[in-house]
Structure formats: C-alpha cells, structure tokens
Amino acid sequence: MRRLHHPRVYRASRARHRARAPRGGRGASARRHTADRRRRARGRRQHRASKCPVPRARGVFVSHPSRRRHIRRDVVDTARVMSRKGGWYDEEDDYYDEYDDDDEYDDDDDEYDEEGKTRGLSDVSGTTTTGAGGASAARGPSKAMEVMKTNPKTKLVGAKEVKARRDAEENARYPAVPTGERTAGAFAFDTPSPDAAAFAARAKRTGGDTSVHARASSSTATAKVEEALRTEFAVKARVGGESTTFSGYEPSSQERAAYASDDGDVHVVILGHVDAGKSTLSGRLLYALKAVDDRSVHKNVRDAKASGKSSFAWAWVMDSRPEERERGVTIDVSVKRCVLDNRRQLVVLDAPGHRDFVPSAISGVSQADAGVLVIDGAVGGFENGFEGKAGHGGQTREHARLAKSLGLHSLIVAVNKMDSVEYDKSRYEHICEALRSFLIDEVGFDDGQVTFIPVSGIEGANITPEDAPLPDALSAWYRGQTLVDSLRSLKTPSRGEPKPLRMPIADIVTEVRSLGNAACGGKIESGSMTKGQKLLVMPANVTATVKCLEVDGMRVDFAPIGTSVDVGLSEIDPRHLQVGSVLCHASYPITPTNEIEIRVLTTDVLRIPLLKGSKVVLHSHMLTCDATIDDLIAQVDTATGEVLKSKPRCITREQSAILRVRTSRNICVEPVEVSPTLSQITLRMAGKTMALGVVTAIYR
C-alpha cells in the first residue's frame, strides 16, 4: 500500500525522538528504544488496516504534529493539522513523500518481536505500553483523536464533491454572465455615458441639437472624410514620360561635345544558339583586330590540347573562367575591348547561348548598341537552333526577339561553320531566306538593319581580309563584306539631348585594388561622370563621391555617354552597391518604384494566358526581380497601338496589351519617352520569355 506523508513534520518529530533516546547504546535503554520503534510501526499498520482497508482510497494521508499517526485529511478537521510551513494545513501547501524508512526498519531481534506480540501496543485510542524491564508509560489521546470522538459527523469526499468545490472556487474568481433580463447598471450600454450627458448639457445651454442621431451623423461624416483621405494617400500618382522633365539641368561643355560627337565606344553583343560557335568567332574577331597577341593564342592552344579540347582554343580567349572551360559552355557575359577604327573602340560582349543562362544574355543585350546573331550552318545545326525541335529548345528565335525589344538598331547575321558544308551556296541561301522572313516580318527589323555574312570561326574565313584570304569555294560566289567591315560600317546611335547621369551597375568590381573596396562597373546610358563628382546610388538613396575612373585599366578623369567604365566610390558602404542599382545625378535622381505600367507583346511560346495575379520574373537592364500582374488595363493593336478591348479577362500569345505590374521590391526604371534604354522590359515564366515591351509610366 502506498503511504503519503508530510515530510517536514515527520522528519522533525523523528529528530526529537532520536534526541530523547539515542540509538548508539547497547544497554537496556537502547533495547527499549528499539522495541518502542517497532511497536509504533506495528500500531500504525494496524490503524491503517482498520481505517483504510482499500490501498488507494480517496483522500490524502498526512502526519499529525503531536502524534505520528496517519489520519485521513477528509475525515478529521483539517484546521487542526499543521503544515510544513509552520501554519495550519493548506491544500496548496501539500506535497508527499513516497517512502518511509520506519516501516521498513527491522533489526532482526526476535525477542522484542515476541515481546511486542504478548503485550498491548498501540491501538486506535492512542495508548502505548512499553514492557522492557517492567517500565511502562501511558500517553493520553491526541487532540486529533479527541476531535474524531466528539465530532462523529464524518463524510468521505468523493469526485462529485471535489468537482463542485472547485467549480465554486472558479465561479468566485470569474463570475459567470448573469442570465435572463439584464438591468441597467454600471456596465450597461442602454443608458447615456458620462460624456454623452456632458455633451447634452452643453448643447442644451447653447440651444443645439441634443439628439443621438445628430451625433451619429456627425461621426459618420468624420469617418467618411478619414476614409477618403486614406484612399487618396494610398493611391499612387501615375507619372508618364510627358510629365518627367529635367528643367534647369545644365550639362558641362565636355558633356555637350560628347553628345554631339560620333566618336566613342560601339558595344556589340554576340548572340545565338548554344554550340553555334559564338566564343570561337569572338576569339577570331579579337585576334583579327589585334586585341589578342600570338603568345596568348599559343598558350590557349597548348592548354586546350592538354585538356582534350583542342577545338576550344579560340573560344578560351573569351571563356576564361575555369567552370566555363571545364563545361565548354559560356555561363556569364564576357567583355573585351579593342580598337575598331581611328575614331571608335569596339566592346565585344559574348553572351551565353544556353537556355539556362538567358538572364545573363538579357543583361548583355541591354548594354549593346548592335548585335551579331551567330547561326550554325552545319547540317541539322540551323534547324535545331531555329525551329526548336523536340528536346532541343532552340534559342535563335528568342535571342532575335530580345535583340529587337531591347533596342538594338542593327543586326549582323553571321552564318558560321560554313566549312562543314564546304561553303555551299545553296545551304547559305536557304538559311538567309528563312531568317530574313522571320526577322523582318515577325520580329520587326527593317530590311536595312539586317546584314548576312558567311563565316567560319574555326578557319578564320571571311573575318577580315588582312587576316587570311577567302577560300576558293567561298570566293567563287560571295562578293560581300567581311565581318570586320560590317562592324566598321555600324553607325553610332543618336543620343538626343543631354540628360542627367544614369549608369546601371552591371557588376561589382572586387579584384582591382586601385579602385578601393567600393567599386562597380557599367555603361553610362546618359549624362557623364567626372572624378570628384557627387552622385546618388538608387534605390538605396545613398550619396557617394567618385574617387577614380578607369576605362580598360586606364585612369581617366572624364567618362562620357556610351562608355563602359569602372568606378571607384568613397563615402559609401559597399553593401549599398548591388547589380541592378543605378548611379544617378545628385540633383536629378531616378525615382524608385514598385508599380509600373508597361506595354508588351506576348510571344508564340506563351501557353498559359496572362491573367490578373499571374506571377512573372521581370528583367530590365541589369536587374531581375519577381513581379505580379496587378491589372490588365487594355488589349491594343500591335501595329497602331489602338485600344481594342478595355479590361480584358486574359492575354494570349502574340497579342499586345497594357499591363500594370507590381514588383517585389523597388526598381529603377523610367518611361520610354525619358530613357529608351532604362525602359526595356522582359517578362519570363518557367524559364521562357513570355512577353517583351517597354515602360509607359511609373506610379509613385
């Protein structure tokens, strides 16, 4: 049977008993002490057996301070029982000891056991007789036992009584809501409040209206005004190109001269399907323009042959990253600079052709003025890249659309790998006919903007006349320009009127120690940049100072529009410099926004219509962010821009529409009337280009 004791009271009583009769002696007193302890233990067992025959009956046993008897708490008066804290017993003050060593005590003394059996020990009346040496002591009944005799009204507390008692305590703490009809009281709302009474008295003195309806109408009018104000501040103002002016902007004399001159950099991006030979052709082109020396070429040939990729020797001029050389695929945009003619320099941007790296290709096209679309002229190569057979997913069509939508004014189509078909004229004409129909009729290029050239990157055929003569098979029927001649014939695009500085950050420069720890690179789209100039980094809205400028590793003090430059900044934390941010004029900053209005043309690869709430990935110049189509404003005619349908339910493939888009973060774009380069937009879903267009307005 499990016995529960009050430990502190029990141990204190046991200590007093040991002080009166120490256990260390071997004489008669020690034997009497041992016999007394055994008799008391035996008496306790008899008492529990007579009072509580069930081992686990309801109720809790506690130790009485005056007599070490286990008395049921619900049988006796609990007010007469001491607690372990020195006061009277309290239910919350109770904890129990599961072990009592007195009941387990046994000194193997059979003599005293027999003696205890023959003599009367403890009984329920509380009398104890000790018989060692004829000595005896009688104790009277305890106070608790007297209470039990004089108060025979005992009652066992069951589960229902305990539950009722606990419910009564809870109701006392948290009174229940009264049922039935409620009378007006301190917390009733059917009587006027003190404020209402004061207002009524004041209105009565002034002769005003004291009715509740008047007060209600006044509060309703106030709520309507507040709601109108909240709506007015929540709605963003639409700012179009006609509303954006730079009145008061005065460009410097150097900047005016740069805008009027045809000199400067010509940025050309190399596009095309994967394995079309773009990097090889780029390496040959740089070698023909004396941008790569013979030593570097010999080193690349040796390393490529050692790695078992001898055909990639010319491609390694552009693909310098270890992962690109290992995989044989261009991953990021490679930039090389060379002299094009006496007045201009050529900046070659080798864009990746794999469909997994189309975002990198978009950033490369955003920096270019013209493009070279490389076509695989081998048998089956052109069909895989252009027609997009199952399992191949050609990128020729997508890259051509990107070139047009992102503002390239000229496109050179280089039919590469003509050596694999022995410079067959019929093969070349078949490719030209198919591409001319696509580029002019579907993409929208003019006939004068497209040039076709047959080349061979691996053999260097038709790259430049100074490099190598044309093969006999090609010279027999081709009388056109070489690739270098076509690049030199490109015209510098018109730059319009001078505008404040805008330079999107294309990359973060960390390897050039002379620029400092806060450096970035990009192309100046408008304005100019001078050493020591104060500028703003948006959308971070942080001021910085131009510490130094470098163009192709050369220190300069002034960088005009159209220049690819590396900028070292001071007085700024490097963490504020991010790809996609814009360096702008301190007095004429660009406005960051997360809501824009765009006019787009969907592509033929769109399978799921664009709906309100569609999730897309937005690309513009160097930035990439998630976006949501908030509203389909109108469907418009592709040629004229006339509104065909307002608020359409969806936009399907090859349709033009005006959309309102919300981005996941603030971006730096401008309407097309203000900046043709910072307004180009590309929408992609599931790794495919779904729509191309421009920004028509921003909301701020």
Q: What is the 3-state secondary structure (H, E, C) of 199-239?
A: HHHHHHHHCCCCCHHHHHHHHHHHHHHHHHHHHHHHCCCEE
State the pLDDT at residue 76: 43
Helices (H) and strands (E) in the chain, counts: 18, 26
Fold of the 502-585 domain: Elongation Factor Tu (Ef-tu); domain 3 (2.40.30)
Tokens of 291: 């941008």
pLDDT at 495: 82
> 270 near 374, Cβ under 8 Å?
yes
Residue spans of the chain under pLDDT 70: 1-27, 49-158, 170-192, 204-222, 225-235, 241-245, 388-393, 467
What gap in Å lies between CA 355 and CA 276, rounded to an integer? Answer: 13
> What does residue 33 show for φ and ψ, rounded to 5 degrees?
-60, -45
Angstrom distance (rounded) from CA 539 to CA 542: 8
Domain residue spans of the chain:
7-161, 263-488, 502-585, 593-699
C-alpha neighbours within 13 Å on the C-beta side of residue 612: 8
* Domain boundaries 593-699, corresponding CATH code: 2.40.30.10
Strand 688-699 versus strand 680-685 pairing type: antiparallel
Same fold for the domain at 263-488 and the one at 502-585? no
Nearest Cα to 622, choosing from 502, 503, 504? Answer: 504
Which strands make up the sheet holding 264-272, listed edge to edge?
Answer: 334-339, 344-350, 264-272, 370-376, 410-416, 450-454
263-488: which CATH topology?
Answer: Rossmann fold (3.40.50)
Given a contact cutoff of 8 angstroms between Cβ atoms, the answer to whether 652 and 609 are in contact is: yes
Contact 102, 27 (CB under 8 A): no
